Amino acid sequence: MGHRWERWTDRARKVLAVADHKSTQRKETCIGTEHLLLAIMDDNTSVAFKVLKNLGVCQCKVEGELKTILQDNVSTVEVHAVEGSHRR
């Protein structure tokens, strides 16, 4: 991770790294909010995960919904780079 990510906590850097990996797996050039959400859902010890779980959100539903949205609206989905991301 570059020096630009040093101000982030270890946990935040881990989420960003997982989000980066997920965007790469999908052959996308930037980390988007969908990648961050999926990365958060990977860490079942985080407060954000627990809040989402208490609201009835599960990773399989998120992945399914994102797949549907991204397939149906490819031209309308915007993906923005996270500051410090090496891919822009």
Q: Give the pLDDT confidence of 13-70 residue by residue, as tens digits.
A: 899 999 999 889 888 888 888 889 999 999 899 999 999 999 998 888 888 888 888 7
pLDDT at 40: 92
Query: Domain spanning 3-76: which CATH class is it, in words?
Result: mainly alpha
Task: Output the pTM of the full model.
Answer: 0.69
Alpha-carbon distance 40 to 16, whole Å? 9
Given a cut of 80, whether residue 75 has pLDDT beyond it is: no
Measuring CA to CA, which residue among 18, 40, 41, 49 is closest to residue 31?
A: 18
Instruction: Determine contact, residues 23/31, Cβ cutoff 8 Å.
Output: yes
Query: What's the angle, vertex CA 65, arms to CA 42 and CA 58, rounded to 5?
Result: 40
Of 40 and 5, the one with more pLDDT: 40
State how far the Cα of 9 lies from the Cα of 70, in Å rounded to an integer: 30
Sequence spans of domains, the chain = 3-76
Task: Go through the chain and tell me how many residues it has.
Answer: 88
Task: Transcribe 7-41 into DSSP letters.
Answer: TS-HHHHHHHHHHHHHHHHTT-SS--HHHHHHHHH
